[in-house]
Amino acid sequence: MIIRILLLGFSAAVFTFLIYRLLQIYRSGHPQRSMQLTIGVLLLLLPAVVIVGFIKPTWHYLLLYPVAISLFLYLVRSNK
């Protein structure tokens, strides 16, 4: 239960920025645009899947999800 609450708090803080970056990617003419959009949408849907209960929230997920989002944002930013 505590993991779900932490997940919701983190997700709320990051969702707005992820959506903003995805809109920037969508408007750009970058050749890897479709791959970046797919990965970004999957990262946005993953917390909802955990909340619904398809994937059990574990400490590994709680530690790896912020790393995955940070790496995604870094890779998208470096591809400008």
pLDDT, residue 49, reads 85
pLDDT, residue 22, reads 85
Question: Could you report the per-residue pLDDT of 6-62, keeping only the tens digit for each?
Answer: 877 776 777 788 888 888 888 887 788 888 888 888 888 887 888 788 888 788 877
Please state, in angstroms and rounded to a whole number, the distance separating the CA atoms of residues 63 and 10: 11
Q: pTM for the full model?
A: 0.67
Lookup: tokens for 79: 């591809």
Give Cα separations from 80 to 10, 41, 46 (angstroms).
Answer: 26, 19, 26
pLDDT, residue 79, reads 63
